[in-house]
Amino acid sequence: MLTTTDREQPTPPVPPRRSIELDSAEAMRLLGSVSLGRIAFTLHALPTIRPVNHIVDDGVIVIRTHEGAALTSRTLQAGGPGVVVAYEADSIDPDTSLGWSVVVTGYAHLVTDADELARYQRLLRPWVRQPMDYAVRVQPDLVTGLLFVSADGPS
């Protein structure tokens, strides 16, 4: 709970910066350079966001999940094109506010091929201590990214 004293504390100044749109190839390259992100999907008609770790494999995002996970349930129920999701990851310095952010929108599907699933289980170690017997593949349809640079930095 904020007190009056807390509200009176000024926030540190953010250095002047500007954003540069990234092309999809550069955005996916940056996404592949980090291992943690957030997946957003609909649960009970409301948006839900979960932190997950990922890999980028041949242009698709792959995450591990478990049987009781909401995303697993949603992808098991989905027919047709899959579950609409958004995936976001970033690397922004908390002191300078410089870095990048990438958002991918697409459809999520469970990986059902046993060989592919085994491969992803070898490549992608879960970041939580829980059995992760499933993998979800996100096929990007829309990839956007922003690079946050110093206002007086290069164009």
Rounded to two decimals, the pTM is: 0.84
The 10s digit of each residue's pLDDT in 43-62 is 888 999 999 999 999 999 99
User: Would the pLDDT of 20 be above 90?
Assistant: yes
* Sequence ranges of the domains in the chain: 22-149
The 10s digit of each residue's pLDDT in 85-101 is 999 999 999 888 899 99
CATH superfamily of the 22-149 domain = Electron Transport, Fmn-binding Protein; Chain A (2.30.110.10)
Neighbours of 112 (CB within 10 A): 10
User: Would the pLDDT of 78 be above 80?
Assistant: no
